[in-house]
Every structure is written in structure tokens, then in C-alpha cells.
Amino acid sequence: MKNSNQLSGLAIEADQLADRIAVIDHGRVIAEDPPDNLKISLQKSTLDEVFLTLTGE
């Protein structure tokens, strides 16, 4: 897994550029939606927080 600085940088880019985000945990897609929808549904302000909430890592 990438270190937290790399993850954060990728999450920022994905948030700005992607129409949809898929969160994959242990080879399974556990969430897929536009970045803003993921953040709103989980009441998080960043995709890093979304990832950590969904994966528990």
C-alpha cells in the first residue's frame, strides 16, 4: 500500500479530476459513486477520510 502522503495526493487528484470513484478493498468494489456523493453519504470532507471509513484502515 502507498504511504499516507501518496494516498492523500492521489485522493486530491481523484477528487478534482474523476467523475466517479470506486473504492476497492481486498479485491472487491465496496463503493462506487461521484466523489461528492461519497463524501456526502459518509459525512466526510475528503476522499482520504472516505477510504479510511470504508476500509477501516
Neighbouring CB atoms inside 10 A of 38's CB total 23
Cβ neighbours of residue 5 closer than 8 Å, sequence gap 6 or more: none
Residue 17 burial (CB < 10 Å; 0-12/13-18/19+)?
A: exposed
16-36 pLDDT, tens per residue? 899 999 999 999 999 999 999
Task: Place 6 in a pLDDT band, splitting at 50, 70 and 90.
Answer: low
pLDDT of residue 5: 55
Strands (E), 1-57: 21-25, 28-33
Domain ranges, residue 21: 4-55
How many separate domains does the chain show? 1
Q: What is the pTM of this model?
A: 0.79
pLDDT over 90 at 4, yes or no: no
